[in-house]
């Protein structure tokens, strides 16, 4: 029986994780739950079903409202960023599944690592911001960072097919998003509704926009670099619209191993929870005959500059990935609120990298300072664009 704390319990990954935990009551139980605090009804229902020891809300003003939704006895309720850190570090858990969205996940995920808890990582933004800090902390505390992202879970599974020294390169697959075939002119005009229509995956809004700009794949290049210790030049991307091959590993002898499956996050989440074993997942089985053709194309870094910006920021190191991530989070939020256009997202990120990319972020304090400064700077840049 493993105890699992879920950070981001009310999100797309969090809800799927709790469904899986409910399907395997002999294997898993919930330790703690955390969310921002914007879906209190859903969270209260999760608390009723899973009876966590403690619950943390990032938004302290939502705690009283949650308390009113709960019958007594109720779990310990923690509030604010410190509450999330306390939950991740102090509630007894074998695994902390990190599925908050964005940089807000960094401190609780780091706290889980420092407390020696296995981390199942969906929240890729944390590794982009602080890959060196997180992987060093994981090594020092003997903690496994298990991938939840379907691409990195695929690579993790394929890597079992050889020794680390035998790996030639990692090949991440990208669906290409809803705009894979649009012209540069048409990309300037896409709406929020169109950008939220992902062709193969149902996910939270931020990652859905990241998938449409291909920033998601850019973040995944950096994630792959840190999770598997692979130089950036040996992490490639191919566009695979069917989302059946979740990623591949090429070995020195020319063999390429791939992991295939239906596009259902249940598969990689369950693998991270049950690792090193496998449990029967209720996801539909893959019918390769029905799928028919599997196609692969090169990505277009001109129409989708986010992919290039992310690779360059990863290779530059220092504060550049922190800047990339912070500017992207602000730009995506602005696009979702109709405050900037779709193609302003890469422009805002490029401008932020020009202004702040050469900074250093050697420790946590410096990383958080750059993150806060770039968020302010990008907000101001969005406001300037609106006025002009
Ligand atoms: N969805 C997928 O299929 C998928 C696949 C691979 C990787 N991932 C990664 O997993 C993470 C979660 O994705 P998701 O799609 O599950 O996101 P989501 O559906 O938007 O859910 C996000 C969760 O984080 C909380 N949250 C939202 N904004 C927050 C903020 N500013 N600060 C702190 N917490 C916040 C939400 O709480 P409230 O409900 O209270 O707002 C919710 O519990 C992301 O890093 C994403 O890139 C997702």
CA–CA separation, 202 and 329 (whole Å): 19
Residue appearing with tokens 């319990």 = 9
Q: C-alpha distances in angstroms, 384 versus 325, 339, 344?
A: 20, 11, 12
272 pLDDT exceeds 90? yes
**Residue 15 near residue 267 (C-beta atoms within 8 A):** no
Residue 379 has which token pair? Answer: 């907000």
CA–CA separation, 219 and 171 (whole Å): 14
pLDDT in tens, 137-160: 999 999 999 999 999 999 999 999
283 pLDDT exceeds 90? no
Residue appearing with tokens 């029967």 = 280
Q: C-alpha distances in angstroms, 332 versus 192, 205, 348, 349, 375?
A: 10, 9, 10, 10, 12
200 pLDDT exceeds 90? no
CA–CA separation, 118 and 68 (whole Å): 33
Other CB atoms within a 10 A radius of the CB of residue 254 amount to 7
What pLDDT shows up at residue 273?
98
27 pLDDT exceeds 90? yes
Angle of CA points 333, 338, 343, to nearest 5°: 75
What pLDDT shows up at residue 161?
96
Radius of gyration of the chain (CA): 20
Q: How confident is the model at residue 282 (pLDDT cuts 50, 70, 90)?
A: confident
pLDDT in tens, 289-300: 999 999 999 999
pLDDT > 90: what percent of the chain?
Answer: 95
CA–CA separation, 341 and 194 (whole Å): 12
> How much is the average pLDDT of 269-288?
94
What pLDDT shows up at residue 334?
98
Higher pLDDT, residue 21 or 284: 21
pLDDT in tens, 77-130: 999 999 999 999 999 999 999 999 999 999 999 999 999 999 999 999 999 999
pLDDT in tens, 29-55: 999 999 999 999 999 999 999 999 999
Give CB contacts under 8 A, 24+ apart, made by 230-235. Answer: 230/167, 230/169, 230/170, 232/311, 232/314, 232/315, 234/167, 234/168, 234/169, 234/170, 235/169, 235/170, 235/172
Determine if ligand 1 sits within 6 Å of the CB of residue 66. no
Q: Is residue 31 classed as helix, strand or coil in its secondary structure?
A: strand
**Residue 35 near residue 11 (C-beta atoms within 8 A):** yes
Determine if ligand 1 sits within 6 Å of the CB of residue 14. yes
CB proximity list for 91: less than 8 A, separation 6 or greater: 5, 31, 32, 52, 53, 54
> How much is the average pLDDT of 177-182?
94
Phi, psi of 172 (to 5 degrees): -85, 135
Determine if ligand 1 sits within 6 Å of the CB of residue 266. no
pLDDT > 70: what percent of the chain?
Answer: 100
164 pLDDT exceeds 90? yes
What pLDDT shows up at residue 372?
97
* Cα 102 to middle of ligand 1, angstroms: 7
Other CB atoms within a 10 A radius of the CB of residue 252 amount to 12
Among 14, 101, 203, 222, the mutation site with the greatest number of ligand 1 atoms within 8 A of its Cβ is 101
378 pLDDT exceeds 90? yes
* Cα 211 to middle of ligand 1, angstroms: 14
Question: CA torsion sign, 77 to 81 to 86 to 87?
Answer: positive
Q: How far apart are the first and last CA of the chain?
A: 58
What pLDDT shows up at residue 60?
96
* Cα 372 to middle of ligand 1, angstroms: 20
pLDDT in tens, 326-365: 999 999 999 999 999 999 999 999 999 999 988 999 999 9
What pLDDT shows up at residue 238?
98
Residue appearing with tokens 């799927």 = 16
pTM above 0.85, yes or no: yes
Determine if ligand 1 sits within 6 Å of the CB of residue 202. no
Position in ligand 1 atom list of the atom nearest CA 36: 40
Q: How confident is the model at residue 235 (pLDDT cuts 50, 70, 90)?
A: very high
What pLDDT shows up at residue 198?
85
> How much is the average pLDDT of 204-208?
96
Residue appearing with tokens 């050697």 = 362
What pLDDT shows up at residue 100?
98
What pLDDT shows up at residue 357?
84
Q: C-alpha distances in angstroms, 17 versus 212, 255, 301?
A: 24, 33, 34
Higher pLDDT, residue 172 or 281: 172
């Amino acid at each position: 029986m493993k105890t699992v704390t879920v950070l981001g319990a009310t999100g797309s990954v969090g809800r799927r994780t709790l469904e899986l935990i409910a399907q395997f009551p002999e294997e898993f139980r919930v330790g703690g739950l955390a969310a921002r605090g914007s879906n209190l009804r859903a969270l209260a229902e999760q608390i009723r079903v899973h009876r966590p020891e403690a619950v943390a809300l990032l938004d302290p003003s939502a705690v009283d409202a949650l308390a009113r939704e709960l019958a007594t006895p109720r779990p310990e309720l923690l509030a604010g960023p410190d509450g999330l850190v306390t939950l991740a570090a102090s509630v007894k858990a074998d695994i902390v599944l990190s599925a908050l969205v964005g940089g807000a996940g960094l401190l609780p995920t780091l706290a889980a690592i420092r407390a020696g808890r296995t981390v199942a990582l969906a929240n890729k933004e944390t590794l982009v911001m602080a890959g060196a800090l997180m992987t060093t902390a994981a090594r020092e505390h003997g903690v496994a960072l298990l991938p939840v992202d379907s691409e990195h879970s695929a690579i993790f599974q394929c890597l079992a097919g050889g020794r680390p020294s035998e790996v030639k390169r990692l090949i991440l697959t990208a669906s290409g998003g809803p705009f894979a075939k649009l012209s540069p002119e048409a990309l300037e005009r896409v709406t929020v509704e169109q950008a939220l229509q992902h062709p193969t995956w149902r996910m939270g809004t931020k990652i859905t926009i990241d998938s449409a700009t291909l920033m998601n794949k850019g973040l995944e290049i950096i994630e792959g670099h840190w999770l598997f210790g692979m130089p950036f030049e040996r992490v490639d991307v191919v566009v695979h619209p069917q989302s059946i091959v979740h990623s591949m590993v090429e070995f020195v002898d020319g063999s390429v191993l791939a992991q295939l499956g239906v596009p259902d996050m249940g598969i990689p989440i369950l693998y991270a929870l049950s690792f090193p074993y496998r449990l029967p997942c209720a996801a539909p089985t893959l019918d390769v005959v029905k799928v028919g053709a599997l196609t692969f194309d090169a990505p277009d870094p001109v129409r989708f500059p986010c992919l290039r910006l992310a690779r360059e920021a990863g290779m530059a190191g220092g504060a550049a990935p922190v800047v990339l991530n912070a500017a992207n989070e602000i730009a995506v939020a602005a696009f979702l609120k109709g405050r900037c256009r779709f193609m302003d997202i890469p422009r805002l990120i490029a401008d932020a990298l020009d202004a702040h990319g050469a900074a250093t972020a050697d420790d946590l304090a410096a990383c958080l300072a750059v993150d806060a400064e770039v968020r302010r700077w990008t907000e101001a840049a969005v406001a300037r664009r609106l006025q002009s």
